[in-house]
Amino acid sequence: MIPLQFSPEVAEARAAGRPIVALESTIITHGMPWPQNVETARLVEQTIRDAGAVPATIAVMGGIVHIGLDAATLNALGQARDVMKLSRADLAVCLALGRTGATTVAATMICAHLAGISVFATGGIGGVHRGAELSFDISADLMELAQTPVTVVCAGAKAILDLPKTLEVLETQGVPVITYGQDDLPAFWSRSSGLRSPLRMDSAAQIAASHRMRATLGLPGGQLVANPIPLVDEIPRDQITPFIEEALAEVARGAVAAKAVTPFLLQRLFELTDGRSLTANIALVLNNARLGAEIARALTAG
Ligand code: PSU
Ligand code: MN
């Protein structure tokens, strides 16, 4: 039996066939500092409710996959140390050991699919790291998108990654990259990456329709929706680039490796921008929560 536990709110929504939006927990434990991490998680959940859907934050607590976290659990997770960062490779081990872990995009997609949830909103996804031709550092998020049928709403990939290579891998893996409402691929803190998006859609209904069409065609895998950060909240590319280069140089000098790279870069960008990267990060996650709720509603309506 799959060790899955639904919160009362999510269980009710499932029974009533209401739209549900999954949320990840690595953004809470490894992506943002306390207490903004828990405050943001709560705001994101409320944003989804206000938009007419039900939030389902996903994490592994004591060897059980929780679909929907109550306030006390969320609070504890946001301050916990020794939380495993779970991708596809780690999920079963964490469960077998009865441990606690935060789900990345890849692991959240797996758990959402097990729970019958088709839409998932987050901030940024993992991708191909710069220098991947030597380090082989390519996030398992990309391969997950190729095999698990969940539509993931993000704000594009961060420019700490190699964006052209990330797009190439997604294309090879058959993952549609759909930018919402503009031609340029967004780059997380910035509305534009300078790269043209492979695909574009202008409404949640269209995104829901292509999600359904993949199932009709028998195509495995999900969709990646890139939702540009609102104009008022963005850090333009020319302003963030020097800070990104500085943080990356520290990684190149051997500061950290493997799974620690992304959390390290996020923390350094927070310091180098005097917290502005975090403010932008919060704004874009809320923006993605709104679009995720709209897509989930469109899928339920159809
Ligand atoms: N990007 C962010 N914030 C995050 C992450 C990425 O802006 O919190 C997290 C997500 O959970 C993503 C994971 O799935 O990092 C990717 O890690 P890796 O590159 O080790 O696969
Ligand atoms: Mn990696």
Answer yes or no: pTM beyond 0.95. Answer: yes
Cα(36)–Cα(287) distance, integer angstroms: 17
Give, to the nearest 10 degrees, the angle between helix 163-172 and helix 140-147: 30
Sign of CA dihedral 33, 276, 188, 288: positive
Distance 129 CA to ligand 2 centre (A): 7
Nearest 5°: phi and psi at 251? -65, -40
Distance 104 CA to ligand 1 centre (A): 6
Ligand with the closest atom to the CA of 110: 1
Query: What pLDDT, on the 0 to 100 scale, is given for residue 140?
Result: 98
Distance 238 CA to ligand 2 centre (A): 26
- How many CA atoms does the CB half-sphere of 192 hold within 13 Å? 8
Peptide bond into 35 cis (omega under 30): yes
pLDDT at 302 over 80: no
Query: What pLDDT, on the 0 to 100 scale, is given for residue 152?
Result: 99
Catalytic residues: 24, 158
48 closest CA partner among 10, 84, 91? 10
User: Which position has the token pair 């917290």?
Assistant: 275
pLDDT tens for residues 189-226?
Answer: 999 999 999 999 999 999 999 999 999 999 999 999 99
**Domain 1-117 is of which CATH architecture?**
3-Layer(aba) Sandwich (3.40)
**Backbone φ/ψ region at 287: left (φ over 0), alpha (ψ -120 to 50), beta:** alpha
pLDDT mean across residues, the chain: 96
pLDDT tens for residues 133-185?
Answer: 998 999 999 999 999 999 999 999 988 899 999 999 999 999 999 999 999 99
Query: What pLDDT, on the 0 to 100 scale, is given for residue 279?
Result: 95
Pairing, β 199-201 against β 177-180: parallel
Q: Which distant-in-sequence residues (6+ apart) come within 8 Å of 39 by Cβ?
A: none
Ligand with the closest atom to the CA of 270: 1
Residue nearest to atom 20 of ligand 1 (CA): 259
List residues bridging with 58 in a β-sheet. 67
Neighbours of 77 (CB within 10 A): 24
The best mutation among 44, 86, 125 to test binding of ligand 1, ranked by most ligand atoms within 8 Å of the C-beta, falls on 125
pLDDT tens for residues 57-79?
Answer: 999 999 999 999 999 999 999 99
For domain 134-297, give the CATH number: 3.40.1790.10
Query: What pLDDT, on the 0 to 100 scale, is given for residue 215?
Result: 97
Residue nearest to atom 1 of ligand 1 (CA): 124
Query: What pLDDT, on the 0 to 100 scale, is given for residue 159?
Result: 84
Ligand 1 nearest atom to the CA of residue 137, by list position: 19
Are 229 and 180 within 8 A, CB to CB?
A: no
pLDDT at 258 over 90: no
Cα(92)–Cα(88) distance, integer angstroms: 8
Are 218 and 269 within 8 A, CB to CB?
A: no
Distance 259 CA to ligand 2 centre (A): 5
The best mutation among 25, 26, 91 to test binding of ligand 1, ranked by most ligand atoms within 8 Å of the C-beta, falls on 26
pLDDT tens for residues 218-254?
Answer: 999 999 999 999 999 999 999 999 999 999 999 989 8
59 closest CA partner among 39, 43, 80, 40? 80
User: Which position has the token pair 């339920």?
Assistant: 300
Query: What pLDDT, on the 0 to 100 scale, is given for residue 115?
Result: 98
Distance 292 CA to ligand 2 centre (A): 26
Ligand 1 nearest atom to the CA of residue 104, by list position: 11
Domain with CATH 3.40.1790.10 in the chain: 1-117, 134-297
The best mutation among 29, 32, 122 to test binding of ligand 1, ranked by most ligand atoms within 8 Å of the C-beta, falls on 122
Question: Using 50, 70 and 90 to split pLDDT, how confident is the model at 255?
Answer: confident
Q: In 51-122, which ranges are continuous DSSP H helix?
A: 71-79, 91-96, 105-114
User: Which position has the token pair 């959402």?
Assistant: 112
**In what helix (H) or strand (E) does residue 164 lie, and over which residues does it extend?**
helix 163-172
**Ligand 1 site, CB within 6 A:** 24, 26-27, 30-31, 87, 104-105, 123-126, 139-141, 158, 259, 262, 266
Q: What percent of the chain has pLDDT over 70?
A: 100
Residue nearest to atom 3 of ligand 1 (CA): 31
**Cα distances (angstroms) measured from residue 250 to each of 124, 132, 138, 245, 265:** 21, 16, 19, 9, 9
